[in-house]
Each structure stands twice: as C-alpha cells, then as structure tokens.
A = this chain, B = another copy of it.
C-alpha cells in the first residue's frame, strides 16, 4: 500500500467508523441486533469503497465534510449487508470471512438476515439524514439504490448464483461482475464526483476508471482464490473450483488472468492521467492511482 494511501486511511477511516458507529447505535433498540450489525462492520474490511469515494473527492481537491463521511459510511454498510446475506447457507454457505466466523455462524441465520436488512435500511437512512443539500441527497439516493438494487448488485448476485450451474463466457462473466461488484465501486466514484460537484466535465474518463477498477478488482479476487494464502486473505481458497464456478482464471488461466488484470489497471491509470492533464493537476501520485496499485500482482 502506498504511503499517501496509508496516511489518508489513518486519518479518514477512524472518522468514517465513528460516523457509522454513532448512527447505528442511535437507531438500535435491540442489543443483539446491534451486536450482529457491529460484528460484521468491525470484521476488518479494507474499506476500499469508502476510500475510493473519499479519494475521489480528494483527487478533485474537494472538501471531505461530515456529509461525505456519512455517504461513504452508508456505502460500507451496504457492502457489509451484502456480505452477510451472501454468506448465508441458502447462498454461498461460507463459514469464514476475513478470518472470522461469518455472521450467521455467530448470531444464527434469523438474526443475520435481520442484521443485513437493518444495515441496508439504515444505509439509506444515513444518506437521507446526511448534512448535504436535499437535491444532492436525492441524486445520491437514486444512484445508491440503482447500483445496489435489482439492476445492480442484487441482480448480479442472482446471476452469479444461477451461473454456478453453467459455463459462462467472458462477456457473460463480465455482465455478472459489472453488477455484483462493479456497481458499488462505480457508486463510490460517482458519489465522490457528485459531492465535489465534478459530475459534468470529467465524467467519461472517470467512468472508464471506475469500470476498469471494478473488473480488475474481480480478476484479483478470482486470482487470490487460486494462488492466494488462506491465512493472509482470511477465507478458504479453491472455493470457486470446488463449486465449478466460471471465473477469470477458469476462462483465461492464471497467466491470462494476470495479463488481463494488468491491462485493466493500465486502462484505469491512463484514464486518470487524462483527467489530470485536462484539469492541470500536477501532483505526482494520487490516492486513486495508489488504489489501483493495490490490485496489481
């Protein structure tokens, strides 16, 4: 992880965590429900999506206000709910996540489902209550729901489950992941642009950045399932092959997947360079470039 990303995270992640924590505590009436929600939020995720959102604001020299933390917090809450529900026995049936027992293993299936529902609902609540102008909040809520909803993440999860029983080709695989993991990554970048009032001029290049970030992220995830170290990544490897799932590595091979990963990272980097040229940004490195570098092998 690059130096500036590391120090950026050290400053902003505690503030983000505090914002989430205060909000869910203020809304909880049942102790076990709060415990279950907090357990998964605190399970040591990399906070990639909030960092991408806040990093986008920083890239355009926008101010990281309380409203920005609130929206970034809501994004992390939605990501966390999706992991809780995906891990359930009726879906991926995972018992380990980030090196710890999954939510339903600790709290039971009923409470895990409700903790997910709670995180999803309170995420929208947090954006609706955020310290931002009403028009901006409506725009953010429209996009968050679209990208997290049935044409976004949820649709992608359905396609992923249904794809387990069949051989997908590369376009079909990309369509699954553009929705399942790509949609929230896209939201992170677009929300950063909206909050820093940059939505007009550079949206095309930033879309290319976000799209390729999302694909590269998924290729990396597939690669780690084959070549990763369980003790480092905190979950069982070899699961995709055991489930006979179509992945970037099953379609392209390990070496082919590495090349594709490199390609998508390069396209994302070039898009960033274009934006820097256009806006005459002279800084040598940026968080958005360092975030891409974390995906490279």
Contact = CB atoms under 8 A, between A and B. Distances in A.
Interface of A: 24, 27-30, 32-34, 37, 85, 88, 90-91, 108-114, 116-118, 120-122, 124-125, 128-129, 134-135, 137-138, 141-142, 145-146, 148-151, 154-155, 157-159, 161-162, 179
Nearest to A89: B109
Contact of A122 (B88, B108, B112, B149): B149
Contacts of A118: 149-150, 154
A155 B142 CA distance: 26
B150 A33 contact: yes
Given A30-B155, A158-B30, A120 B122 contact: no
Among A149, A150, A179, which residue has the most Cβ atoms of chain B within 10 A?
Answer: A150
A131 B171 CA distance: 36
B149 A121 contact: yes
A111 B158 contact: yes
Contact of A124 (B33, B90, B145, B155): B145
Given A110-B90, A159-B30, A125 B146 contact: yes
Contact of A162 (B32, B157, B159): B32
A154 B124 contact: no
28 contacts: A28-B155, A29-B151, A32-B158, A33-B150, A33-B154, A33-B155, A33-B158, A37-B150, A85-B113, A85-B114, A85-B117, A88-B113, A90-B109, A91-B113, A114-B154, A117-B154, A118-B149, A118-B150, A118-B154, A120-B121, A121-B150, A124-B141, A125-B146, A128-B138, A128-B141, A129-B142, A134-B138, A141-B141
